[in-house]
Amino acid sequence: EPEVTQTPSHQVTQMGQEVILRCVPISNHLYFYWYRQILGQKVEFLVSFYNNEISEKSEIFDDQFSVERPDGSNFTLKIRSTKLEDSAMYFCASSERLLGAYEQYFGPGTRLTVT
């Protein structure tokens, strides 16, 4: 069964450093998403991406964040200058479509630890 994959599974970085989290969505999916979950808190939407553009973003997704689809398979989330409060699980998701009933399929997540 096709699945969303994410690398690395765990990333440790120092405050102020840049990190790039990588995702490979399901191959025939056209819509891509990033969510995050701070330990013990809810899963929160960050951004959605379609046709090489951001289609929606939350207030969490400020200028420190960016997303990119650098090739036909990868989807990345970059945090330019990490802060302690960026420590969280980051989940990538993808869906085949956006209208009507559709499922978002999530990857296993990347645990980001900022020290």
Partner 1 sequence: DAKTTQPPSMDCAEGRAANLPCNHSTISGNEYVYWYRQIHSQGPQYIIHGLKNNETNEMASLIITEDRKSSTLILPHATLRDTAVYYCIAHNTGNQFYFGTGTSLTVIP
> For residue 22, what are its two tokens?
């990588």
Question: Cβ 57 to partner 1, closest distance in Å?
Answer: 9
Per CB under 8 A, which of residues 35..94 are in contact with partner 1?
A: 35, 37, 42-45, 48, 55-56, 58, 89, 91, 93
Residue 14 CB neighbour total at 10 angstroms: 8
Q: What is the maximum span of the chain, computed from C-alpha positions, in angstroms? A: 42
Report d(CA 46, CA 23) in Å as an integer: 15
Count of positions on this chain that bind partner 1 (CB under 8 A): 28
Q: Which residues bind partner 1 (CB under 8 A)?
A: 4, 31, 33, 35, 37, 42-45, 48, 55-56, 58, 89, 91, 93, 98-101, 103-109, 111
